[in-house]
Structure 1
Amino acid sequence: MNFTSDHNWISESLEIGKEMLYLSQKEVLGIGLSEKEILNLTKDALIAHGKKEYEMPAKIGVHPFPEVFFHAMPAYVPSKQAVGAKWIECYPNNPSKFQLPQTTGLLILNDVSSGCPIALMDSAWITAMRTPAVTSLAAEALHPDAETFGMFGCGIQGIEHVKYIGHTLKKLKKIYIYDVREEAMDRLIQEVQPKISVEIVKGKNPEEVTKSCEVLSSATVILKEPLAVIKDEWVSRGQTIIPCDMNTFLDPVTSKRADKYIVDSIEEHELFDQMGYFPDGLPKIVCETGEIIAGVKKGRESKEELIVCSNIGMAVCDVVVGREIFNQALANNVGVKLTL
């Protein structure tokens, strides 16, 4: 890595210290990063995390209302010259109450050499992409021969999970989906089925989906009191469960009895435990997702193992994906330069 060269390259297009590049959500989307590119960038970030080649404190937050959160998420990944912070919020009632997205946010990037801000961009799309990428990479590492995948929650995250999972689980034959909103399941099928070859099946209820799938994921809401919709008695040995909603949708008993409980960030899960998000106690953590991806720790060691891999989102992924968007935007003269 050559930070001086990187600084000089940015300086060719941007007057560092006097201006920064602003990218709207439309411009971030317009860069055109493919799902495979997002997967590769996310994998690089996870490997750096697994090899401890990063700096990232646990995300702190504020909570104006019981059901919402704001998170501050800084990170530094030297191998990508990526340093910055995401400020993101989740308001589950926004769609029905204000006709606004549930999740919005911004990502700021800085020049490593000087520390000066170089970019400010929408982060909602980045979050929506890197989250299913992490799930898909974890599924590949922990259950590569899976023929069935189940997705609970058919919002933005659910839609993207169903799009992404086929890139890594090459033997998939069926994808089961479930949402309490019938229209959400219909919308997902209408949007995604024409784009993928794997059959999407609308689940009748959570029990059917749980019992039908080798790999399961959930992207619902994050609550302090678990909903425990996926009952422990429905879960069998040999399954892999990869929740994005921490301790909400899955029965906490399942996580505690799993042969392996893996998390993306131990520090972040311990922080959430201190804040009361694991009222029954944080399960014993075996290792981190990045350590599995990097080959530092072993993943599945037998077909009979029940594995739970909880990924609640890491800033290393955001800054790595964001930095690539910035690189391409700068190279292609995309965005608006703002005076500092």
Structure 2
Amino acid sequence: MAYEATKDQLEAFQKEHDYLKSKLELGKEILWLTQEECIKAGPDVAETLGLIHKAMEAHGKKRYEMPAKIGIHPYEDVFYHAMPAYVPDSLACGVKWIECYPRNPKDFGLPQTTGLLILNDIMTGIPVAVMDSAWITAMRTPALTSLAAAALHPDAKTFGMFGCGVQGTGHVRYIVKALKELEKIYIYDVRSENMDRLIQEVEGEVSVPIVKAASPEELVANCEVMSSATIILRDPLKVVKKEWVRKGQTIIPCDLNTFWDPEICRMADKYIVDSKEEHKLFEGMGYFPDGLAPITCETGEVIAGVHPGRTDREELIVCSNIGISVCDMVMGQAIFARALEQGIGRILPL
């Protein structure tokens, strides 16, 4: 889907181009940002929520261009994804190249998720920045879950998180900023030490009580809104059974169709996804063995107010967000702009 820029946007592209020429020798230099430098120049939780809201609003109003991510799969349990996007309202244009190796922490002592993000000058297409994308991914993913939760279930008093790694910890940090009436958070991980680590990492930052659930069923029984950030596999694990869920709950997974019984999506009164094209792509790759449930709308349409989302307290809603690159590019552009302004990073020959 191509997007034709407005006159105001074209003028903004020219202004940005002129600014970049004052900072870099375009075509001969790029700004290189390490993960530590991305964090230094990057937005905090509140700023990230604002940036991702802007990105999803653009997505919901179709003010973007973003083909479905493509990938390669050297092993059955891993993936590499190329994720381009163009968001003119944010002067953001580029691509993220990201890999996920669930075995890395145990087998090699390396992160599960790594990657790079490249930004381009919209006026000329010249690459202007290369930066770490793992931290960006870790920040934007829980931001989208939290914004979706606020749009679909703003009065929720309980939230449950399956998976207590980097993403699970991020979700706990973000959800307290989005659900203003939250009274309790339940967490569950197959490794008890991961739950302890999560609680320790957010201590002093999250004042809402955090409860370690003894089982997945206990978490489901006690929570109005739930999310999951676990492993991504083609064959569903069906850890959460369809018999456990009930009317009035909101389920916002980040791990495709892996953790939940696929029948839950079909039981839902509304099945919402961040990108129809990307979910259909994954369906063709075998990640939804029984096929996708009928899709109601996209997450950005709810956040932008284009679609009403929840219209009845008793609706069971599933909102599947597998990660879309409009969010990455808007985050990357914000980090790049601040890094240039503050002199963070290294200018390297192109």
Fold shared by both chains (TM-score > 0.5): yes
CA distance in 1, matches of 2:272, 2:322: 12
What displacement does 1:32 show? 4.3
Normalising by structure 2, what TM-score?
Answer: 0.97
Give the match for residue 275 of structure 1.
Answer: 285
Matched, 1:116 2:126: yes
User: 3-state DSSP class of the match of 2:23?
Assistant: coil
CA distance in 1, matches of 2:45, 2:202: 14
Letter in 2 for 1:60: I
Letter in 1 for 2:130: L
Q: Which runs of 5+ in 1 are unaligned?
A: none
Matched, 1:129 2:175: no
CA distance in 1, matches of 2:104, 2:68: 26
Matched, 1:285 2:285: no
Q: 1:193·1:199 contact (CA, 8 Å) conserved in 2?
A: no
- Over residues 66-115 of structure 1, what are the superposed CA-to-partner deviations in whole Å (9 max), with x where a residue is unaligned? 00000000000010110000000000010000000000000000000010
User: 3-state DSSP class of the match of 1:136?
Assistant: helix
1:258 to 246, 268, 281: 268
- Over residues 274-322 of structure 1, what are the superposed CA-to-partner deviations in whole Å (9 max), with x where a residue is unaligned? 0000001101000000000000011100000000000000000000000
What displacement does 1:31 show? 1.2
2:22 to 2, 6, 12: 12
Quick one: percent identity of the two aligned structures?
A: 64
Give the match for residue 212 of structure 1.
Answer: 222
Aligned ranges 1:129-168 → 2 under 5 Å: 129-168=139-178
- Over residues 211-264 of structure 1, what are the superposed CA-to-partner deviations in whole Å (9 max), with x where a residue is unaligned? 100000000011100001011000000000000001000110110110000000
CA distance in 1, matches of 2:283, 2:308: 25
| Aligned residues between the structures | 340
What displacement does 1:194 show? 2.1
Letter in 2 for 1:184: N
CA distance in 1, matches of 2:209, 2:132: 33
CA distance in 1, matches of 2:37, 2:291: 43
What displacement does 1:197 show? 1.0
CA distance in 1, matches of 2:281, 2:203: 38
Matched, 1:46 2:56: yes
2:252 to 227, 242, 255: 242
1:101 to 104, 111, 126: 111
User: 3-state DSSP class of the match of 2:203?
Assistant: helix
Letter in 1 for 2:255: D
Give the match for residue 47 of structure 2.
Answer: 37
CA distance in 2, matches of 1:56, 1:205: 39
Q: 1:193·1:200 contact (CA, 8 Å) conserved in 2?
A: no
User: 3-state DSSP class of the match of 1:195?
Assistant: coil
- Over residues 162-206 of structure 1, what are the superposed CA-to-partner deviations in whole Å (9 max), with x where a residue is unaligned? 000011100000000000001000000111132111000000000
CA distance in 2, matches of 1:224, 1:32: 34
CA distance in 2, matches of 1:335, 1:311: 31
Q: 1:150·1:176 contact (CA, 8 Å) conserved in 2?
A: yes
Matched, 1:190 2:185: no
